[in-house]
Chain A
Amino acid sequence: MSFQVMLQQLTTGFGSTLMIFCLTLLFSLPLGLVVYFGRVCRFKPLSWLVKCYISIMRGTPLMLQLLLWYFGPFYLWGMNIGGYKFTAIILGCSLNYAAYFAEIYRSGIESIPVGQYEAAQLLGYNRQQTFFKIVLPQMVKIVLPSVTNEVITLVKDTSLVYSVSYIEMFARAKQIAAAETTVMPFMIAGVFYYIFNFVVAWIMEWFEKKMNYYH
């Protein structure tokens, strides 16, 4: 197999990687906020339940979770999982990352001085206004470096979907390497991941700079 064909096949695989990455972020970033609300809910049973959820999501391997999400419905209810693989992957990744994001959001929100809430109360803002106008924007700035960390980890974690034999870049590299007995595809995949993360880090840094207008 020529280098060019290899590159072309890996690029196609990279498209799938990118897709998993984008969809997971799209769902897990807002979902993290929902999980946060559950975590700090004053209705104790709910907050306890969410705490358990976070504990399980963080306490077990993502690969294992992916296998469960994919094969679970088949073994539990005999569901036909033929066309369900991609959904299972996005579901598994999003729910896992939402747990991490929720805790990052919580740390950010808890570091906002209580005086901000008091000022908002005195000015007559209601709870929604206080959260969305005062707390959330300040939280975003605080958590940005931690979120960058998670996002970079996610880029690399997309490779875990090979465990449910979904063919993205990493799985493709493995296939080619086995068939052609060469490490070349791994090296190319490595370069792809690195460049991707470089771009991600650059974008996140740009966001951080944009938020630098106050401190």
Chain B
Amino acid sequence: MGQLWDGFVEAIRLIFTLDSTVLEITFRTVLVSGTATLLAMAVGVPLGYALARGRFRGRNIALGLVYTGMGFPPVVVGLFVWLMLVRSGPLGDLELIYTRQAMVIAQFVISVPLVIGFTAASIQSLPPRLGDLLASLGAGRIRTLVYLAREARLGLLAAVMAGFGAVISEVGASQTVGGNLEGETRVLTTAIVLATSRGQNEQAIALGVILLSLALAVNLLLTFVQQRPR
């Protein structure tokens, strides 16, 4: 209990003294996970819409694959991305392994099925004729997507929360493709693992408190947007 309390005290000290290392790791964490989530939204929302509304052969198989992807272990995703990006791999010439970009790619792969799945489910929960109504009123594809996204915003913001929550808290993929390089690819989760392995429990707890606070702040913000009365 004393160790936990010491961890909290250390966390408060690190935060309020604006510890440069902690700030840098926190900023990098937000940057990597935020970028991955934004990219996942850009790709996942239209794909989720297409899966929800489209009538094409193999749609159910595609949905099944997406739902399987929603539960994919991050460390396996990390391994897959590592095999692609490692110098001897098919994309090795891009020299992305052990960079922030590699971490963004891995986190994108982790979050995109979540965004697609939540988007598809939220669009499918809308009245089935809503798209037809908008089309019959003369709304083009983009405007129809905007109106439907507005209608499905509860589910879409849940998609953001799920996507961001999954990547900001994962450690396996970031460790595998980022390498936890100090000043380069170290993020909160990999820093916690390192601190724990070195026996720096107070620091690990402090970083854990910061990570939880960060996730809580982002999710509270999104929840307020989501639950705003219409």
Pair from one complex: no
